[in-house]
A and B are shown apart, each in its own frame.
Chain A
Amino acid sequence: ETGVTQSPTHLIKTRGQQVTLRCSSQSGHNTVSWYQQALGQGPQFIFQYYREEENGRGNFPPRFSGLQFPNYSSELNVNALELDDSALYLCASSLVGFQETQYFGPGTRLLVL
């Protein structure tokens, strides 16, 4: 059984650019959630996808968008990058939703210059 994987591990972008982060969910999981973790802070919920549909969203602007594919892998897209977008982006997979245990990937560290 493979765990949650994320790519790339690290990324450097400049302000105004766009970025796509990728997540492969754990085998058999149909739900993917994305979180942003600033340095020294706890993770903050961005949104969740269940069976390719957005299933809840946190307090993030529309320039944060996502996709889930038929194999339940997912992408997080961020447009018009800002310096404050520099953070660790975590993906978590689970069955059905939040009452189930979430399994996190190692994250993608994004630096915006």
Chain B
Amino acid sequence: DAKTTQPNSMESNEEEPVHLPCNHSTISGTDYIHWYRQLPSQGPEYVIHGLTSNVNNRMASLAIAEDRKSSTLILHRATLRDAAVYYCIVIQGAQKLVFGQGTRLTINP
């Protein structure tokens, strides 16, 4: 399994952009990078995924380094509802999502 490394916690202010980093130095060429988040007392929810190019959706943007050894999840204007644990996962086409410890994001009003 490709290992991912994320900071344990990050803090930001409401309505400011948030950049959540993830290192995945052992990623292979066909591995996808997925981000999920888990709000308090809920199951994880899908945020975004990508392979090589940067990706945007209504929730966030995903910036993938050219060598694909790292990526950054970008929340453009954080709200209090974005406070959650964010998980970066590299999917190798196997039958499982391998979650790490994730980054606990705190948003200050």
The chain A residues found within 8 Å of chain B, CB to CB, are: 4, 33, 35, 41-45, 48, 55-56, 58, 90, 92, 97-99, 101-107
A44 and B46: CB pair below 8 A?
no
| Total residue contacts A-B, CB cutoff 8 A | 60
Query: Which residues of chain B from 22 to 62 have a CB within 8 Å of any chain A CB?
Result: 32, 36, 41-46, 49
Contact of A42 among B42, B43, B99 (CB under 8 A): B99
23 residue pairs A–B, Cβ–Cβ below 8 Å: A33-B96, A33-B97, A35-B97, A41-B101, A42-B85, A42-B100, A42-B102, A43-B44, A43-B97, A43-B99, A45-B98, A48-B95, A56-B96, A90-B43, A90-B44, A98-B93, A101-B49, A102-B36, A102-B44, A103-B45, A106-B41, A106-B43, A107-B43
Contact of B43 among A48, A55, A92 (CB under 8 A): A92
The chain B residues found within 8 Å of chain A, CB to CB, are: 32, 36, 41-46, 49, 85, 87, 91, 93-102
Bound-state CA distance A70–B47 (Å) is 30
Nearest-Cβ distance from residue B87 to partner chain A, whole angstroms: 6
B94 and A98: CB pair below 8 A?
yes
Which residues on the A side are within 8 Å of B85 (C-beta)? 42
Tell me whether chain B's interface is mostly helix, strand or loop, or mixed.
loop
Which residues on the B side are within 8 Å of A90 (C-beta)? 43-44
Contact A98:B101 (CB < 8 A) given known A56-B96, A58-B96, A90-B43: no
Residue among B42, B43, B49, B87 with the highest chain A CB neighbour number at 10 A? B43
Tell me whether chain A's interface is mostly helix, strand or loop, or mixed.
loop
Which residues on the B side are within 8 Å of A56 (C-beta)? 94-96
Chain B residue at smallest Cβ distance from A97: B95
Chain B residue at smallest Cβ distance from A43: B99
Chain A residue at smallest Cβ distance from B49: A101
A98 and B99: CB pair below 8 A?
no
